[in-house]
Structure formats: structure tokens, C-alpha cells
Amino acid sequence: MIIERAKRVLNIEAEAIQQLVERINEGFVRGVELILACEGKVVVTGVGKSGIIGQKLASTLASTGTPAFFLHPTEGLHGDLGMLERKDIVLAISNSGETDELSQILPLIKRYGNKLIVLTGRSTSTLARAGDVVLDVSVTEEACPLGLAPTASTTAALAMGDALAVALLEKRGFKKEDFAMLHPGGKLGKRLLLTVRDLMHVGDELPRVYENTLMKEAVVEITSKRLGVSGVMNEREELVGVITDGDLRRALERHPDLLERTAAEIMTRNPKRIEADALAAQAVQRMEEHAITALFVFDHDGDKTPRGVIHLHDLLRAGVV
């Protein structure tokens, strides 16, 4: 019984969304064009469950390149309508189209001359008649067996709002990089914005020894810098090799006198490298490709003197991985 009821709810809501497909018409196009031409913000408003959908839609619009915010009509009646500017567009959501609070702010919207886009389940309602664009989000039935709780109707409004947001995103040419700029704290933002330069170790944190450095000193350098690696430099301060924890373990099997040998005898030549301005995500890719955990960093591809080093742990801590 529970499973059957749940499936019925999902089928009703899926059908509500499917019915919207046939309603994407010139009115929808007009709504997109109005928002694209707007010199201000999209002010989304609604009460109750419609208000919650409105908050989500305002957030989606704002995060995909269309400046927007949510204005609760009740608060608007008590001063917050001061947030509304004449150059803004109002997007009102109401299944009945007769919500008292919305009806009360309609005169001010009209007086200001704001364009009004309406998402409603009743195209003959007061709100619909006032709209410059009306998007029909009516449903055949609610998923609630009592026919009272907004369920399919809020799903339809949410889906239509998402369709608007995505259409606007595409018309604006909004890209992953733009999304990342608006979501710097998210994983995508970190992958697309953080560079190797932002995370690399520099100065005294850069582990380095020279070709003639004895391994007993090299081990101290590797251990003290806590990166599991040290660069090996020649007399011109050019990177000629690296020594890793793995190199030490392998060398111990071959050289009982390891600590008395020089870094040049133990190092791995032609170490993998990356440029400082490369994306941190590229550093992850290169480490995975070569099964390593650290890269020495250079200002430019042709440089021979490293400016820093980046470790997989740095990328993990930054949330890039």
C-alpha cells in the first residue's frame, strides 16, 4: 500500500511536468526576452508553498547569471517594497492567482510600470489578468489524496521556473567558468578557479638539496619539509632530479651504504613539472596520470629553476580532489 501510494504520487507529479511541455510557446519566449532586456533585477514573489518555490527560483536565477532576489509580499506591504525599483521585473507565483497579499501589491507594481511575469494555475485569475506574460502551470490533480496540499502544482511551478532559468542561461552564453565565479566555495568553483600558484609551497617550504649533497642530509631535508619529496639542484639552481620516499625505499634495497651516497646517485631524473598558473585541477590530473603525489612548479614551461612545489595533500585540503 505504501509503495503503491508513493508510485501514484510520483506518476501524478511526472504527468504534471509532462503537461508543461505543450505550454512552452511564444508566451514563454516573451518572458525570456523580457528578462533578458531587463536593466534591473528579477524580483520573485509568492506566498506559502509558492513563496518557497519562489525563493528557490530566485536563487537559481541569481546563480546562473540572472540577478534576482525574493521579496515576500507580506513584508512588501510593510516597507520592503522599497526594494523594488522601476527597472526591475516582477515574477509572481500563485496557483490560484487570487492570493490576497499579491493582489494588494499589484497596484504599486502597475504604478511603477514594472513588467509582470505570472506563473499561475488559473489563466483567468486576478493575477493573470494583470500579467504582461502568463505561464500556465495548472495541474489536473494534486498528488495529495485530499486535493488540498500543494504537491503537483508546486512541482509544476518549480519545473517551469527551472525551464526559464536554463533558457536564460543559454541565451546569455553562461559557462562553467561563470558558474564557478558565482560559486567560489563549491567544488566546481575550486576546480575552475584555484591555480597551482594559490596552493604551492614556496621559499623555505620548498625542499631542495644539491647533486653532491650526501643522502643522510637529503633524508633530513625530506623529513623536515614533510612533503615526501625533495628537489635536487645543480650549481646553477636548476632542477635536475627529485628524491621521493619511494626512491629512498627502493635505494635501501640496492645500496646498504645509502646514507653515504650523493643525491645525484639516487635521484630520479627528468621529474614531472607544472606551471604556476595552471589550474589546480590540472595538477591533480597530472599526478594521477603519472601515479605521483608531488609536482615541482615553474613560472613558465621553459624555466629550469622551480618556484615551488605542490603536493596531493594540498589539493585534497583545498577540496579540488
CA distances from 178 to 54, 173, 199, 318 (A): 23, 9, 22, 20
- How far apart, in whole angstroms, are the C-alpha atoms of residue 15 and residue 1? 21
Average pLDDT of the residues of the chain? 90
Distance of CA 122 to the CA centre of its chain: 35
- How far apart, in whole angstroms, are the C-alpha atoms of residue 240 and residue 235? 10
Contacts of 318 (CB under 8 A, 6+ apart): 190, 194, 198, 199, 280
Each residue of 218-255: pLDDT tens digit? 999 999 999 999 999 999 999 999 999 988 999 888 88
**Is the Cβ–Cβ distance between 188 and 49 less than 8 Å?**
no
- DSSP state string for 225-269: HTSSEEEEE-TTS-EEEEEEHHHHHHHHHH-TTGGGSBHHHHPEE
Q: What is the pTM of this model?
A: 0.64
- DSSP state string for 260-289: GSBHHHHPEES--EEETTSBHHHHHHHHHH
Of all helices (H) and strands (E), which one includes residue 8?
Answer: helix 2-21
Each residue of 266-293: pLDDT tens digit? 999 999 999 999 988 899 999 999 999 9
- DSSP state string for 62-124: HHTT--EEE--HHHHTTTGGGG--TT-EEEEEESSS--HHHHHHHHHHHHHT-EEEEEES-TT
- How far apart, in whole angstroms, are the C-alpha atoms of residue 301 and residue 274? 8
- How far apart, in whole angstroms, are the C-alpha atoms of residue 134 and residue 123? 7
Residue 93 has pLDDT above 90, yes or no: yes
* Per-residue confidence band for 64, with pLDDT thresholds at 50, 70 and 90: confident
**Segments making up each domain of the chain, as ranges:** 2-174, 196-317
CATH 3.40.50.10490 for domain 2-174, yes or no, is yes
What pLDDT is attached to residue 146? 81
The pairing of beta strand 294-298 with beta strand 308-311: antiparallel
Joined grid coordinates for residue 188: 566546481
Scan for cell 547569471, then name that residue: 65
What pLDDT is attached to residue 180? 56
Q: What are phi and psi of 44, to 5 degrees?
A: -95, 135
Q: Which fold has domain 196-317?
A: CBS-domain (3.10.580)
**Is the Cβ–Cβ distance between 308 and 276 less than 8 Å?**
yes
What pLDDT is attached to residue 191? 61
